[in-house]
């Protein structure tokens, strides 16, 4: 039997990205089909009763399951090394669903300080309303994580590497701490993707994605996912099925096709970013580059050990203050001035007044978000064109 379409334990990541999760229909299609249907029909009243009663597996309604969404879920689960994946309508609803599935009033989260802005709002404003409190610690400081844990702590939550300063936490060590206190560790793996980092294989319990970023990679759709063990994912599936932040079949199809080129894209993103970081590092108008791929980054060796690449989001500081940073951004003609990242198109932003603008001056100082800091998400245009676009403003400052 030619059974190449079920995930196979011995397939490499590159193969899983292209072939895992596709169950060919009786039409014998070669590419993954889209099933844009809200509901499914039954051959008889008895079959409907069995499916509703859970005695027989099968699709009922696309808020519960959909074959196109399942293909994406199985492919991403295989790539992350997880037992199961649940796809969601966005990265934020992936995080919300995780919290609703695992936490209740009185529980506590310990999280890294340098999280995505909406994640902080979700934790403080909305989970806070439900009686779930969050403490923030410095990402790379394992002692600070441990000191923040109390008997009520149920979840540790980190983004590594951080945005935009490229700080890193030792995932295996953090997982060990979490488990010693009977807490779970969730890693937002948005910046590296399974092509460059698989937190579950390092001991994390859950991986969270904004599929909107590199999984799609071409800025076409909003989506998210959570990957982990059956036990926790069954709870999460219940939340998504009941509360409704499910992924649409069309978006799932886009993300499934995105995964097929993920490995190649991430390698090319990494190559461009490292080249750019090295060039910025020697530019006279640049005072500092934050990128774990540079040998003098304080966590370079941890990054090299834990990751299969250094990613493609980097921060750099220019001579001067906000005005100087803005002049470099405004001198670009090709780079997109936007807070988005993880796209084939390079993007540039001033974190202090955009992505991190909600922070107080004191919080910015603690987080290292200075007025002269610029963030670039390095895309796949030619290096000459990316460098040329940045050189215009930087040369004027030098």
Ligand X SMILES: *Cc1c(COP(=O)(O)O)cnc(C)c1O
List residues binding ligand X (CB under 6 A): 90-92, 116, 118-119, 159, 188, 190, 210, 212-213, 222, 224
Q: How far is the CB of 208 from ligand X (least distance, A)?
A: 7
Q: How far is the CB of 38 from ligand X (least distance, A)?
A: 23
For ligand X, give the closer residue by CB, 214 or 316: 214
Other CB atoms within a 10 A radius of the CB of residue 359 amount to 17
Write out the DSSP string of 13-33: HHHHHHHTT----TT--SSPP
For ligand X, give the closer residue by CB, 343 or 394: 343
Structure tokens at 170: 């030792």
User: Parallel, antiparallel, or unpaired for β 133-137 and 347-349?
Assistant: unpaired
Q: First CA to last CA across the chain, in angstroms?
A: 66
Q: How far is the CB of 92 from ligand X (least distance, A)?
A: 4
> In whole angstroms, how large is the CA radius of gyration of the chain?
22
Structure tokens at 365: 């100082």
**5 and 24 in contact (C-beta within 8 Å)?**
yes
For ligand X, give the closer residue by CB, 159 or 232: 159
**242 and 357 in contact (C-beta within 8 Å)?**
no
Q: Which residue is nearest to ligand X (CB)?
A: 91
For ligand X, give the closer residue by CB, 90 or 140: 90
For ligand X, give the closer residue by CB, 73 or 188: 188
> Is the dihedral angle over the CA atoms 272, 278, 280, 286 positive or is it negative?
positive
For ligand X, give the closer residue by CB, 132 or 313: 313
Distance of alpha carbon 149 from alpha carbon 147, whole angstroms: 6
| 215-309-280-351 Cα dihedral, nearest 10 degrees | 40
Q: How far is the CB of 192 from ligand X (least distance, A)?
A: 10
Q: How far is the CB of 188 from ligand X (least distance, A)?
A: 5
Q: How far is the CB of 340 from ligand X (least distance, A)?
A: 8
For ligand X, give the closer residue by CB, 161 or 352: 161
Other CB atoms within a 10 A radius of the CB of residue 132 amount to 22
Q: How far is the CB of 206 from ligand X (least distance, A)?
A: 13
């Amino acid at each position: 039997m030619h059974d190449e379409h079920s995930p196979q334990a011995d397939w490499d990541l590159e193969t899983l990205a292209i072939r895992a999760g596709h169950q060919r229909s009786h039409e014998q299609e070669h590419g993954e089909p889209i099933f844009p249907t809200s509901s499914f029909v039954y051959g008889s009243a008895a079959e409907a009763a069995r499916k509703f009663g859970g005695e027989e597996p099968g699709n009922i309604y696309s808020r519960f399951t959909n074959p196109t969404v399942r293909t994406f879920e199985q492919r991403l689960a295989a790539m992350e090394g997880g037992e199961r994946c649940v796809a969601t309508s966005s990265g934020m609803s992936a995080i919300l669903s995780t919290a609703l599935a695992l936490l209740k009033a009185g529980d506590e989260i310990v999280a890294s300080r340098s999280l995505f802005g909406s994640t902080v709002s979700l934790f403080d404003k909305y989970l806070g309303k439900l009686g779930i409190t969050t403490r923030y610690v410095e990402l790379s400081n394992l002692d600070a994580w441990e000191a923040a844990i109390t008997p009520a702590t149920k979840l540790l939550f980190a983004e590594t590497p951080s945005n935009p300063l490229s700080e890193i936490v030792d995932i295996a060590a953090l997982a060990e701490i979490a488990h010693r206190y009977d807490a779970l560790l969730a890693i937002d793996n948005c910046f590296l993707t399974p092509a460059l980092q698989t937190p579950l294989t390092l001991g994390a319990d859950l991986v969270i994605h904004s599929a909107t970023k590199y999984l799609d990679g071409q800025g076409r759709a909003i989506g998210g996912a959570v990957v982990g063990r059956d036990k926790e994912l069954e709870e999460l599936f219940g939340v998504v099925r009941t509360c409704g932040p499910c992924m649409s079949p069309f978006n799932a199809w886009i993300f499934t096709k995105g995964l097929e080129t993920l490995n190649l894209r991430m390698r090319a993103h990494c190559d461009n970013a490292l080249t750019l970081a090295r060039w910025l590092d020697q530019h006279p108008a640049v005072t500092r580059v934050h990128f774990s791929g540079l040998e003098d980054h304080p966590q370079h060796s941890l990054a090299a050990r834990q990751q299969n690449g250094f990613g493609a989001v980097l921060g750099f500081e220019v001579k001067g203050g906000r005005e100087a940073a803005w002049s470099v951004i405004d001198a670009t003609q090709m780079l997109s001035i936007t807070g988005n990242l993880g796209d084939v198109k390079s993007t540039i932003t001033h974190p202090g007044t955009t992505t991190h603008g909600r922070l107080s001056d004191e919080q910015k100082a603690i987080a290292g978000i200075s007025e002269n800091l610029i963030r670039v998400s390095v895309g796949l245009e030619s290096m000459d064109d990316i460098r040329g676009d940045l050189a215009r403003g930087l040369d004027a400052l030098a």
